[in-house]
Structure 1
Amino acid sequence: MFILTLTYTVPLDAVDAHIAPHMAWVAEGYEKGIFLASGRKEPRTGGVILAHGQRDALAALVATDPFVIAGVAQYEITELVLSRTAPGLERLKA
């Protein structure tokens, strides 16, 4: 599993101009079965996506995020090897 940490690099008004295409990109990640969970950081400095797949493929995918293309955000990709989950979340270890 991977944690995709998104950090805004510009003021929020510049980020907000790209919200709609970014959210469409996120929806596509769910439709493809890559994204498992996502949400904004609080305070609003970026977001986090839980994903599965291969690091190289995820790096290529985040490069297509409209936020990245517009230069308003950057990603950090962290691999997490889960050893334990709460009941009902076993799928995350796959």
Structure 2
Amino acid sequence: MFVITLRYLAPMEQIDAVLREHQDWVDAQYDEGVFVASGPLVPRTGGVILAAGLPREQLEARLETDPFRRQELAQYTVMEFAPRRVAAGLERLQG
């Protein structure tokens, strides 16, 4: 499982101009079963994504297709961890 953090590198006006395209990209990752949870940081300086089900290399290749990344609007950090315990209903997250 992966925790991905995004930190915005551009003014909010530039982020908001690409937000719909980014959200469509995020929706596609959910549709394919890759993303487990996602959302903005508070305050809105970036975001967090939880991802599972792909090797790191494939995940990083997917992240390269995010409109925020393609337009150099956000910096990404990918951290891998091995969940040893999960809440009921989230067993698929244990690798």
With the shorter chain as reference, the TM-score category is over 0.9
Alignment of 1:60 with 2:61, yes or no, is yes
For 1:84, the aligned partner's letter is R
In structure 2, the gaps of 5 or more residues are none
1:19 CA drift (Å): 0.2
- TM norm structure 2: 0.94
Question: Amino acid of the residue matched to residue 64 of structure 2?
Answer: A
**Structure 1 length-normalised TM:** 0.95
Aligned amino acid, residue 65 of structure 1: D
Any idea what SS the aligned residue of 2:10 has? coil
Q: Measure the CA separation in 2 of the matches of 1:44 and 1:28.
A: 22
Cα offset, 1:75, TM superposition: 0.8
Q: Which letter does structure 2 place at the counterpart of 1:35?
A: F
Aligned residues: 94
Q: Which runs of 5+ in 1 are unaligned?
A: none
Q: Which residue of 2 is the match for residue 51 of structure 1?
A: 51
CA RMSD of aligned residues (A): 0.9
How does 1:8-87 map onto structure 2 within 5 Å?
Answer: 8-52=8-52, 53-87=54-88
Secondary structure of 2:62's aligned partner: helix
Q: Alignment identity in percent?
A: 47
